[in-house]
Amino acid sequence: MDREWFRMTAHELADAFRNGDTTAEAVAEEHLARIEKIDPQVQAYVDVWQESALDAARDADARIRAGTATPLTGVPMSLKDLLCSTEGTTTCCSHILDGYRSPYDATVVERLREAGAVVLGKVNMDEFAMGSSTENSARQTTRNPWNLKCVPGGSSGGSAASVAADEAVYSLGSDTGGSIRQPASCCGCVGMKPTYGRVSRYGLVAFASSLDQIGPFTKDVRDCALVLNAICGHDKRDTTSANLAVPDFTQALTGDVSGLRIGLPKEYYTDALGGDVRDRVETAIDILKDRGATPVEVSLPHTEYAVAVYYIICTAEASANLARFDGVRYGQRAANVKDVRELYHQTKSAGFGLEVQRRIMLGTYVLSSGYYDAYYLKAQKARSLIAQDFTKAFEHCDVIVTPTTPTPAFRIGEKIDDPLQMYLSDLFTISTNLAALPAISVPCGLTTEQLPAGLQVIGRPFDETAVLRTAYAYEQHRGFDWGRPPLG
Amino acid sequence: MNYEAVIGMEVHVELNTRSKVFCGCSTNFHAPPNTNVCPVCLGMPGTLPVLNRQAVEFSVAVGLALDCSISRWSKMDRKNYFYPDLAKNYQISQYDLPLSFDGAINIIVGGETKRIGITRAHLEEDTARNTHTLGGGDSGVDFNRSGVPLLEIVSEPDIRSGAEAYAYLTALKQILQYLGVSDCNMEEGSLRAEANISIRPVGQEAFGVKTEVKNVASFSGTQKAIEYEIARQRQILENGGAITQETRGWDADRGITVSQRSKESAHDYRYFPEPDLAPIVVDTAWEEQIRAGLPELPQVRRARFEEAFGLSPYDAGVLTASREMADYFEAVVEAKAPPKQAANWIMGDVQALLTYRELDIADCPLAPVELAAMIGLIENGTISGKIAKDILPELMDTGKSAQDLIEEKGLVQISDADELVTVAREVIAANPGPAADYRAGKAKALGFLVGQLMKATKGKANPKLANEILARELGSSED
Ligand SMILES: [Zn+2]
């Protein structure tokens, strides 16, 4: 073997396929071999689709030969286990959905199949996307490819780890409060949450419906644009998806940021921000400045309320979204119960993990009569204020640049017994979900502990183009050898 | 002490849209169990609702017909509770911003018109149906009904008696059927009524403790349940007791209400805005478009029938009871039948024949033009009313025209005076006794002789002419 194709990006593979340097089938086989070799250490995959992946690869080769390939045709990828697929299982890494097979494909899965994608399988996540470390999975503990003693971040930890460990060229995850950007930052890959409404949520098992958004994990910004091109756009099955024209996102990849105003929110750059991460981010800002961008200080005064607001809204919505998992129609059902009340009680107690139960209880509480006004209603008002902060800030800048996370990946087990500490790892990502904005995390170097740090770029609603333009320019000019995780 | 009842009604009506309110499945819930279902109405993970535009239009049409204000901006909410017939364990409904609000309906009780306020009408999804085997073995859920659009219409507590509740339900059903938005079939559950009932001393403003009566299968059952409940509450209060706030079911067999659930176990539904659906915006243009499509409503039509056709209030009421009936009547009048005669025929013989054949006026095999033609033949003296009555069943069943039928049967009325004079003379000759009686001043005897003449002509004689000729013949032969 001359080259390790599994190290390649999607756009590099597309060139190789077009030039006849390799085939989709060969690349799929290589990835499956890579998974077999590396995944026992990383534990990203919960379900590998050996046969259907090779079938899809052969179909892709036919398309490539026929000249009808798209940029993603024949490129192997992975799916977070909460995206519904008729192939394999869709379990949200919860016992309550053990063995559950979806009767339909999510809209994004349909669109990827139309593009000729090769789906390698489903990857790990925090149960029902609740968590920031993937430790809340009912399946397994996924490791950070950069340091197997560390978490990959979460909730889409399996997606991030599969891409960082070269077990997939790209992956689709979901981001409710940072669940794409935070693990992308922890694992050193590109992760993007598009504007709420940019990608159809049909077939994404809901955690918090007003915050959830599907997005890609990729090895570089160009691939991110290519995946967005394939999955964005209105879907009549999701009336919250925006009926807006989708630009060709690769047009943003100019490398030019001259004249771009970069907002730096003073509430994010506080003394609490860790030394190493701060240093990497400031270096990144200097690079953008050298390329002609102008940093401006902006203020997001309601930032301090974001975490509280987020945990009220997301738990309230989750308490209703997860009510359907009751053992009546699908999934696991408790046996030997005497009535329907006991059926609910025992099914849910046995099927849901502790974090999920905690959030259902919190959400039920904040919606209860007598508490609704004090919690849910107040949180909705504060959410509007947080969104207004961004609107005002964007009067002075074109994008906002922050660290993705305050600290790099932490050790497995370090925060699992301290939910509040865990919740704070999403400090810098949560506000963009509340304000429904697009945001990307792009790697910005390694800390002294040899763990990746991420640069977050946030844009105006539906201005993914400005986000990609900034991230791409930085990526082109960051001037360091990114290296690879110390895996085989 | 004198008490008065305070009653508010909550009516759930299934809208007869072609597809369900949040998915493309058919609303036909008579299909075999779980055949009109899809991932959305089964509440499968990852699915999202898509609001049916027709269901919104039907709801707005009902709101307009009930004289409601229409919300420019409303939204759907989640109503959370656990039950196996609820696919998602929350029902998508409307909480604080219903599609329409502040309306009224006029009812007529004992000849008096009374206005009953409508608090609101909101859109929601119906639930599935649970079935249990006898003896408590297995339970099954049929999701065909899950997601059928449901409109909940809530009245103000303006109703004071079971009879008023009956009139309210009848008037509401009539309007819904005029709009064509629901089958309103109580037995099949496409219309369900609940009554909130309390009583208070006459003159007192504050409401008493209320009970809610559910599971009544008919309007008359509702009236009886309310009357029973008023009497029950009065007895408790008169004996110094207190009313318990609770839900009570109507036991039609025993004619009593039975306690089902007390307030202590009442649900906290934890309503919150449905994040999967955008707000519903009904702008003035859309509202006006729906208003323009409204049919003439029953009370307006009834008044017009009295005015334009000179019908009695009773006849106008019967003929406007359903839109189909009123349409039929107007079609007959349109075909040149005199309104009063058309009314009598439709309300009398036509209705009787339909009832016998278990047919609705909408399915009447006798075309309005044919009925008008038959009435025309009576009017111009071609046939008698008696002949018309006789041939009506055949007219209805064969689809022939009245003209063809009477010609075929030789039933054309004998209006030829010469022919009738001959028969009259024969009748007088054959009945000397009655003839003598008549001549002796017993006017009644003429009726018998006319009857004999009709018999001799097999009913074909023009009755008016027969009378005249007989009277003349009896007079002249005396000379
Ligand atoms: Zn359906």
pLDDT digits (tens, 9 = 90+) for A287-302: 999 999 999 999 999 9
Task: Please tell me the distance between residue A109's alpha carbon and the centre of ligand 1 in angstroms.
Answer: 21
Q: Chains A and B: how many Cβ contacts under 8 Å?
A: 98
Check: CB of residue A309 under 8 Å from CB of residue A379. Answer: yes
CB contact under 8 A, B51 and A239: yes
Maximal CA-CA distance, chain A: 71
- Note down the domain range covering A327: 304-380
- Half-sphere CA count of B352, side-chain side, radius 13 A: 7
pLDDT in the model for residue B262: 62
Pairing relationship of beta strands A76-80 and A118-123 according to DSSP bridges = parallel
Task: Please tell me the distance between residue B202's alpha carbon and the centre of ligand 1 in angstroms.
Answer: 51
Cα gap B19→A299, rounded to integer Å: 50
User: Could you identify the residue written with the tokens 């919150």?
Assistant: B272
Check: CB of residue A182 under 8 Å from CB of residue A441. Answer: yes
pLDDT in the model for residue B417: 79
**Chain A contacts of B37, Cβ < 8 Å?**
none
- Residue A451, Cβ neighbours under 10 Å: how many? 21
Q: What is the pLDDT of residues A423-434, one digit of tens each?
A: 878 889 999 999
- Spell out the domain ranges in chain B: 3-286, 296-408, 417-478
Task: Please tell me the distance between residue A326's alpha carbon and the centre of ligand 1 in angstroms.
Answer: 20
Task: Please tell me the distance between residue A275's alpha carbon and the centre of ligand 1 in angstroms.
Answer: 54
A237 shares its domain with A335? no
**Chain B contacts of A340, Cβ < 8 Å?**
84
**How does the average pLDDT of chain A come out, rounded?**
96
Stretch A157-186: mean pLDDT? 98
pLDDT tier at A42, thresholds 50, 70, 90: very high
Q: Which of A216-220, A227-231, B373-377 has the lowest mean pLDDT?
A: B373-377
pLDDT in the model for residue B478: 47
CB contact under 8 A, B90 and A238: no
Q: How many residues belong to chain B?
A: 479
Q: Which residue of B has its CA nearest to A82?
A: B46
Q: What is the pLDDT of residues B416-426, one digit of tens each?
A: 778 888 888 88
Question: Distance, in angstroms, between A174 CA and closest chain B CA?
Answer: 13
Q: Is the pLDDT of residue B476 over 70?
A: no
Task: Please tell me the distance between residue B51's alpha carbon and the centre of ligand 1 in angstroms.
Answer: 12
Burial environment of residue A349 by CB neighbours within 10 A (0 to 12, 13 to 18, 19 or more): exposed
A200 shares its domain with A92? yes
A213 shares its domain with A311? no
Cα gap B333→A27, rounded to integer Å: 81
- Of A348, A380, A412, which residue is a domain's last? A380
Tokens of A281: 């981010």
Cα gap A269→A354, rounded to integer Å: 34
Cα gap B371→B245, rounded to integer Å: 56
Q: What is the pLDDT of residues B140-189, one digit of tens each?
A: 999 999 999 999 999 999 999 999 999 999 999 999 999 999 999 888 88
Q: What is the CATH number of the domain that holds A59?
A: 3.90.1300.10
Pairing relationship of beta strands A190-193 and A170-175 according to DSSP bridges = unpaired
Q: Which residue of B has its CA nearest to A84?
A: B46
CB contact under 8 A, B270 and A319: yes
A373 shares its domain with A228? no
**How does the average pLDDT of chain B come out, rounded?**
92
Residue A316 lies in a domain: yes
Question: Distance, in angstroms, between A313 CA and closest chain B CA?
Answer: 10
Q: Which amino acid is at B152?
A: E
Stretch A437-466: mean pLDDT? 96
Selected residues 186-225 of chain A with any CB under 8 Å from a CB in chain B: 201-206, 208-210
From the list B42, B50, B89, which residue is nearest A323 (CB)? B89
Task: Please tell me the distance between residue B125's alpha carbon and the centre of ligand 1 in angstroms.
Answer: 11
Sheet of strand A452-459: strand arrangement: A45-48, A118-123, A76-80, A170-175, A213-218, A190-193, A439-446, A452-459, A399-403, A261-265, A294-298
- Residue B329, Cβ neighbours under 10 Å: how many? 29
pLDDT in the model for residue A1: 46
Stretch B232-257: mean pLDDT? 93
Q: Is the pLDDT of residue A274 over 90?
A: no
Choosing from A78, A80, A133, A415, the catalytic residue is A80
Q: Where are the alpha helices (DSSP H) in A132-180?
A: 157-164
Query: What's the CA dihedral at A300, A305, A310, A311 to 10 degrees?
Result: 160
Q: Where are the beta strands (DSSP E) in A326-469?
A: 399-403, 439-446, 452-459
A165 shares its domain with A230? yes
A190 shares its domain with A336? no
ipTM: 0.96
User: Could you identify the residue written with the tokens 């002509």?
Assistant: B457
pLDDT tier at B263, thresholds 50, 70, 90: low
CB contact under 8 A, B46 and A100: no
**Chain B contacts of A317, Cβ < 8 Å?**
272, 275
Contacts 24+ apart (CB under 8 A), B375-383: B375/B332, B375/B337, B375/B338, B375/B341, B375/B342, B375/B345, B376/B336, B376/B337, B377/B402, B377/B403, B377/B406, B378/B341, B379/B338, B379/B341, B381/B413, B381/B415, B381/B462, B382/B406, B382/B412, B382/B413, B383/B411, B383/B412, B383/B413
pTM over cut 0.95: no
Identify the helix (H) or strand (E) that includes residue B168.
helix B162-179
Residue A288 lies in a domain: no
Choosing from A179, A185, A241, A319, the catalytic residue is A179
Of residues B38 and B384, more confidence is placed in B38
Q: Quick check: A243 contacting B, CB < 8 Å?
A: no
pLDDT tier at A114, thresholds 50, 70, 90: very high
Task: Please tell me the distance between residue B323's alpha carbon and the centre of ligand 1 in angstroms.
Answer: 32
pLDDT tier at A488, thresholds 50, 70, 90: low
- Residue B115, Cβ neighbours under 10 Å: how many? 12
Number of domains in chain A: 2
Fold of the CATH domain B417-478: Arc Repressor Mutant, subunit A (1.10.10)
pLDDT in the model for residue B134: 66
From the list A106, A209, A369, which residue is nearest B276 (CB)? A209
- Coil, helix or strand at residue A364: helix
Q: Torsion-angle region of residue A299: left (phi > 0), alpha (psi -120 to 50) or beta?
A: beta
Residue A358 lies in a domain: yes
pLDDT in the model for residue B444: 84
- Give B360's contacts (C-beta < 8 A, 6+ positions apart): B324, B354
Tokens of B302: 């009834």
Identify the helix (H) or strand (E) that includes residue A52.
helix A50-66
Cα gap A10→A306, rounded to integer Å: 36
Task: Among A351-365, B401-415, B439-453, name the most confident range.
Answer: A351-365
pLDDT tier at B1, thresholds 50, 70, 90: confident
Residue A55 lies in a domain: yes
Q: Torsion-angle region of residue A436: left (phi > 0), alpha (psi -120 to 50) or beta?
A: left
CB contact under 8 A, B48 and A103: no
Check: CB of residue B181 under 8 Å from CB of residue B30. Answer: no
CB contact under 8 A, B48 and A238: yes
Residue A257 lies in a domain: no
pLDDT tier at B479, thresholds 50, 70, 90: very low
Residue A175 lies in a domain: yes
Q: How remote is the C-alpha of A42 from its chain's centroid?
A: 18
Q: What is the pLDDT of residues B282-317, one digit of tens each?
A: 999 999 999 999 999 999 999 999 999 999 999 999
Known active-site residue A133: no
Question: Distance, in angstroms, between A36 CA and closest chain B CA?
Answer: 30
CB contact under 8 A, A237 and B44: no
Task: Report the residue of B25, B48, B267 to disrupt the A interface, i.e. the one with the largest count of A CBs within 10 Å.
Answer: B48
CB contact under 8 A, B87 and A324: yes
Known active-site residue A80: yes
A181 shares its domain with A99? yes
- Residue B137, Cβ neighbours under 10 Å: how many? 7
User: Could you identify the residue written with the tokens 């109503």?
Assistant: B79
pLDDT in the model for residue B45: 98
- Give B468's contacts (C-beta < 8 A, 6+ positions apart): none
- Of A380, A411, A446, which residue is a domain's last? A380
Task: Report the residue of A85, A90, A315, A326 to disrupt the B interface, i.e. the one with the largest count of B CBs within 10 Å.
Answer: A326
- Coil, helix or strand at residue A148: coil
Known active-site residue A200: no
Choosing from A94, A102, A155, A171, the catalytic residue is A155
Q: Which residue of A has its CA nearest to B84?
A: A328
Check: CB of residue A240 under 8 Å from CB of residue B276. Answer: yes
- Coil, helix or strand at residue B451: helix
Q: Which residue of B has its CA nearest to A314?
A: B275
**Chain B contacts of A320, Cβ < 8 Å?**
78, 80, 88-90, 270, 272
